[in-house]
Structure 1
Amino acid sequence: MFSVSRVLLNKVETKASSQAAKIVSSCAAGTVLNLQIKKSGKEPVALESHEYPDWLWTVLDAQAQAEKLASDPIKLRRKQLRIANRANIKQNNFLAKI
């Protein structure tokens, strides 16, 4: 087995935390987002990257979501059941067509 020194681990952790701090929005601040739902409402405008909540940047990160699910076994089980139920429904619909 390979042994990794603490110095290397600290460098990796520091690099990961600095990358997380550098996440920026794909839209420049002040850009109109064309997401108006109501006729009477105003058109939403993009904010500065630091004005958004931290959890927003992890929503599309599969690894972060997997870690979050692993920490809550009830949510993990519910997700597994939903996936199994959808697969079962699809199979039953397919067999009903035959």
Structure 2
Amino acid sequence: MASSITRPLRSINVTKEAVGLVCCRTFSAAKGKKGAKGGAASDAPKVSSLSKEVKSSTTVGANILKDGTDPKVMADSEYPDWLWGLIDKKPALSELRRKDTESLPFEDLKRFVKLDNRARIKENNSNRAKN
């Protein structure tokens, strides 16, 4: 149906200026700023007002409370042990499929079942979409 509409339009010659007028998006000037055009002054990077000592001793931007303060950085020994395990890389599904499922630790076995189910669901969805 779309091809029947576009065939007669192919014979019409349209200049670049006409396309520019139709497809051009314009913006109005900002109110209250007379003579300000472009904004070259605001393109400069902002200088941080925090000192190096404050940046190294606090987690800047971690505060989510309106009246709260940013949390202080503590020594590594003051954090729980499980926290350091969060940054460890987890094995991918292909690696887990190569290993024997009987010898996998419980956490890896749970991860294998979850990733395998997810992969089967994606495959079933793509097969249904093709039909």
Q: Shorter-chain TM-score: what band?
A: 0.3 to 0.5
Higher helix share: 1
Which structure: larger Rg?
2
| TM-score (normalizing by structure 1) | 0.46
Give the number of the structure with larger relative contact order, counting CA–CA contacts within 8 Å between residues 6 or more apart: 1
